[in-house]
Copies of this chain bind each other. A is one copy, B any other.
Amino acid sequence: MAGFKAAKRFDKMKLQAQWIWHNGDLEILQLNRCLTSRYERGIFIPPFWRMDDFSKNVKFSKEFELAAPETIHITANGKFNAAVEDLGRGKGGYARDGGRLELEPGKYRLTVSVYNAAALPALFVEGETVCSGAGFLSTANDHAAGFVGHGGFYDKACPPGEFRFHYKNVEYTVLERDKSGMLIDCGRELVGRIGFERAAGDGKIKLYYGESLSEARDTENCELTDVLDAADGCRAEIPKAMRYARVCFDRGVTASEPKAEEEFVPQARSSRFRCSDEKLNRIYETALRTLALNTREFFLDGIKRDRWVWAGDAYQSCLMNYYSFFDLNTARRTITALAGKPPVTTYMNHIMEYSFYWIVGLWDYYMYAGDSEFVRRMLPTALEIVGFTERTRRNASGFIEGRDGDWVFVDWGDLDNSGEVSVEQIVYLKALKTVVKLCRVFSTDGAAYEARFNDLREKLFDRFWDGERQVFRYALRGGKPDGTVEKHPHILALIYGFLDGEKREGAIRNALLDPAVRKIVTPYMRFYELGALCLANRHDFVLNEIRDYWGGMLDEGATSFWETYDATQKGAEKYAMYGRKYGKSLCHAWGAGPLYILGRHFIGLEPAEPGFKSFTLTPVLSDLEFMEAELPLPQGEVKIYMDAGRLTVFSNGADGVVRFRAKPRLTDALADKTDGEYLYYNVKKNRELNLILNGRANA
């Protein structure tokens, strides 16, 4: 009986073969597909930066020892050969008859070379004890071998390739119907495709999509269109962003009612946030939906436009994601695809600081998600980016400066980003600091990066900091200050912890809060600005900003948040951008910023150790009557309820601490620790912590 049970256990432990590929290549293949799916009114818009490509010629290998004879079946996606070396007996040969190997007990090295010019070279090895999976190595024959990419592909008949979306039918309302067609409303923003089970006639079916009703109605100017040949089962090839669609039939075409399908990626988990302000609750829900819609094969910037992966945008999406869906698959795919292939010869999306943000985000991934193995794999890319920057973008003064076709973006707006730009130095400093920390974690020598960090930080404050006015100079040109002061460098230096004492106060007073300094207008930079204001304890101000800005979009009928919003724009004007009537994206990932701001700065959750092994909560109620939230941890979640008199915290995912700066009078618990600035109360996993508060904590 015991033996039988053991046998069954052994059977359960049997390895499951899975498809493996050259690490990073599936993501690159899917990225390229994603980046080349953008159209504007039927005009194809490819990316204008260098694209990497997956390796066509990949060699997989694995050493193993067999205690008993074993038959191994080898399947590949592509032309292949499988060579096996008998390491003990020193002989070898190729698998024949379609990849079958019959092996006696012994020690072996299996090497499978796979070539595929059209699709992803991938391998599936099935034996009793030898199965393709995490332990295999691969190389593109470039002197570098590493562990293979793997995960999620267990069906031998379905090798990894294009990303597999989910689809569901969408109920829509017909708003208008006339002899030439109809106008439908899906009720909310989505990525969908319209098709016809039955269609016939000599002509076309034309589809005009709209994120807004005006856009769908304006068949001359709407951004997205499709033209179908009228035939049974005809359907738009590439699903598009829409809420509305105008369907027009050419004369002579007959068709069944349109079928609308949503294309999406389901999320297994989601955060929850509720508070006493119903508007904030609706903002939170809409932000969740906005991020969910942009969370596809990768974190996209917007589903209508660009539907591309921008490293700077994705960096923010990742942060929002840690406070909402905690979707690590999409985060890893995005980080991996952006990394591309070594060597680094251009910046991500050809934007200098975007590669730096990518490095900074790698540390976030380590802190929020853990998964050191993944971060370790990405570290070489981070070092490559720094090496590339030092070799090619460091000028004689020791500052970094964009060259050739680099885009020094910083932010949309009237900024002159030529010369030595403060923000570039600051984001690069943060990248260097991140690299130093990563080197420490992964036992890599980071001394040179640390020296460079110290050197550049000193140079930054020496040349960019105006000690008299207590502000950063925005840029130097020919070594001379350009005379402008902008909020941007102050925001980022605050966020990244490069300011303290007098300088910190100066930056807040003379840049962040000084009405004479130009306002930040893009939600992209507001993401950092609101974070910086929270770090400066301006929570009430931030909450009102959220109410005004995001609440304003809701008042305009938004079902997802926009690329940018200006309350003064009315009517059709509010949809225009880039000189086009409907150029503005109405479902833009960076519009979902409140997910992060509320989770990180109001609920105040942060990982205290890598992989959220423990957390810190610094809740700030601000002007709310109450707030409650469930926020994801890698395993489980943390729940919090707070009002002016009570705080309840429950975590089933990790231990943690709650901390209070304002030293509230607490009746049911003594602080577990204090460090002068904060009082700390321990949160034990699976044990509810209840604190009686007397007043608004951390305000």
Residues of A within 8 A of B (CB): 32-33, 36, 43-51, 53, 55-57, 59, 79-81, 94, 96, 113, 115, 117-118, 140-143, 342-343, 345-346, 350, 404-406
List, in ascending order, chain B residues with CB within 8 A of A115's CB: 36, 44, 46
Known: A36-B79, A142-B345, A346-B142. A53 touches B50 (CB 8 A): no
Chain B residues, Cβ within 8 Å of A47: 57, 141
- The answer to whether B343 touches A51 (Cβ under 8 A) is no
Look across to chain B and name the residue whose beta carbon is closest to the beta carbon of A95. Answer: B43
User: Given A46-B113, A47-B57, is A345 in contact with B345 using a C-beta cutoff of 8 Å?
Assistant: no
Q: CA A36 – CA B51 in complex, angstroms?
A: 24
Knowing A51-B57, A57-B46, A57-B51 touch, does A143 contact B346 (C-beta < 8 A)? Answer: yes
Other-chain contact of A59, B48, B142, B346 (Cβ < 8 Å): B48
A141 lies within 8 A of B51 (CB): yes
Closest to A79 in B: B44
Could you tell me the distance in whole angstroms from the C-beta of A574 to the nearest C-beta in chain B?
25
Which B residues are in CB contact (< 8 Å) with A33?
A: 117
Q: Roughly how many angstroms separate A115 CA and B341 CA in the complex, as a whole number?
A: 19
Contacts of A57 in B (CB 8 A): 36, 46-47, 50-51
Give the Cβ gap from A386 to chain B, nearest Cβ, in Å: 16
Q: Complex formed: what's the CA distance from A36 to B96 in Å?
A: 19
Closest to A142 in B: B50
Give chain B nearest CB distance to A448 CB in angstroms. Answer: 16
Known contacts: A56-B51, A343-B345. The answer to whether A143 contacts B46 by CB under 8 A is no
Task: State in angstroms the CA–CA spacing of A301 and B346 once bound together.
Answer: 36
Pairs across A and B, CB under 8 Å, 26 listed: A36-B57, A36-B79, A36-B115, A43-B81, A43-B96, A44-B80, A44-B113, A46-B57, A47-B141, A48-B141, A49-B141, A50-B57, A50-B140, A51-B55, A51-B56, A53-B53, A53-B56, A118-B118, A141-B350, A142-B345, A143-B346, A143-B350, A143-B404, A342-B345, A343-B343, A343-B345
B-side contacts of A79, CB under 8 Å: 36, 44, 46
Pairs A-B, 8 closest by C-beta atoms? A50-B142, A143-B405, A143-B404, A46-B115, A44-B79, A50-B141, A51-B57, A43-B94
Minimum C-beta distance from A53 to chain B (A): 6
Q: How far is the CB of A120 from chain B (nearest CB, A)?
A: 12
Residue among A44, A96, A346 with the highest chain B CB neighbour number at 10 A:
A44
Q: Complex formed: what's the CA distance from A162 to B610 in Å?
A: 52
Chain B positions within 8 Å of A49 at CB level: 141
The minimal Cβ–Cβ distance linking A667 to chain B, given in whole angstroms, is: 64
Distance in angstroms between the alpha carbons of A46 and B57 in the assembled complex: 7
**A99–chain B nearest beta-carbon distance, Å:** 11
Question: Considering the chains assembled together, what is the distance between the CA atoms of A94 and B580 in angstroms?
Answer: 14
Using A36-B117, A44-B81, A142-B346 as known contacts, list a sample of 19 further A-B pairs with CB atoms less than 8 Å apart, ordered by residue number in A.
A32-B56, A33-B117, A36-B79, A43-B81, A43-B96, A45-B113, A46-B113, A48-B59, A49-B141, A50-B57, A50-B140, A50-B142, A50-B143, A51-B56, A51-B57, A118-B118, A143-B350, A143-B404, A343-B343
Residues of B within 8 A of A59 (CB): 48
Nearest CB in chain B: distance from A59 CB, A: 7
Report the Cα distance A79→B48, complex, angstroms: 14
- Chain B residues near A45 (CB-CB < 8 A): 81, 113
| Residue in chain B with minimal CB distance to A404 | B143
Q: For A404, what are the chain B residues with a Cβ–Cβ distance below 8 Å?
A: 143
A346 CB contacts on chain B under 8 angstroms: 142-143
Residues of B within 8 Å of A53, CB to CB, are 53, 56
In the complex, what residue of chain B is closest to A76 when comparing beta carbons? B44
CA separation between A141 and B405, bound complex, in Å? 9
Q: Kindly state the separation between the CA atoms of A231 and B404 in the bound complex, as whole angstroms.
A: 59
What's the Cα separation between A49 and B141 when bound, in Å? 5
**Contact partners of A36 in chain B: CB under 8 A:** 57, 79, 115, 117
Q: How far is the CA of A46 from the CA of B121 in the complex (A)?
A: 13
CB distance from A137 to the nearest CB of B (A): 14
Closest to A29 in B: B117
Bound-state Cα–Cα, A696 to B56, Å? 58
- What residue in chain B is nearest A116 (Cβ atoms)? B36
Q: Which residues of chain B are near A55, meaning CB under 8 Å? A: 51
Q: Across the interface, which residues of B come within 8 angstroms of A43, CB to CB? A: 81, 94, 96
Chain B residues with CB below 8 A from A50, complex form: 57, 140-143
Chain B neighbourhood of A94, CB < 8 A: 43
A307 → chain B closest CB, angstroms: 15
Complex Cα–Cα for A43 and B81 (A): 6
- Residues of B within 8 Å of A118, CB to CB, are 118
Closest to A50 in B: B142
Shortest beta-carbon distance from A227 to chain B in Å: 12
Q: Considering the chains assembled together, what is the distance between the CA atoms of A527 and B444 in angstroms?
A: 48
Write out the residue numbers on chain B whose beta carbons fall within 8 Å of the beta carbon of A96. 43
Contacts of A117 in B (CB 8 A): 32-33, 36
Contact partners of A141 in chain B: CB under 8 A: 47-51, 350
- Interfacial chain B residues near A406, Cβ < 8 Å: 143
Q: Which residues of B contact A56 (CB under 8 A)?
A: 32, 51, 53
- Using Cβ atoms and an 8 Å threshold, which residues of chain B touch A345? 142, 342-343
Q: Which residue of B lies closest to A342 (CB)?
A: B345
* Residues from chain B with Cβ under 8 Å of A51 in the complex: 55-57, 141
Q: How far is the CA of A80 from the CA of B44 in the complex (A)?
A: 6
| In the complex, residue of chain B having the shortest beta-carbon distance to the beta carbon of A33 | B117
CA gap between A187 and B49 in the complex, in Å = 55
Closest to A115 in B: B46
Q: How far is the CB of A151 from chain B (nearest CB, A)?
A: 23
Q: How far is the CB of A141 from chain B (nearest CB, A)?
A: 5
Complex Cα distance, B36 from A57, in Å, reads: 9
Residue among A79, A143, A342 with most chain B CB within 10 A: A143
With a 10 A CB-CB cut-off, give which of A48, A117, A345 has the most chain B CB atoms.
Answer: A117
Give Cα A230–Cα B664 distance, bound, in whole angstroms.
89
Q: When chains A and B are docked, how far (Å) is the Cα of A56 from the Cα of B80?
A: 24
A56 and B35 CA atoms in complex are apart in Å by 12
Q: How far is the CA of A33 from the CA of B342 in the complex (A)?
A: 24
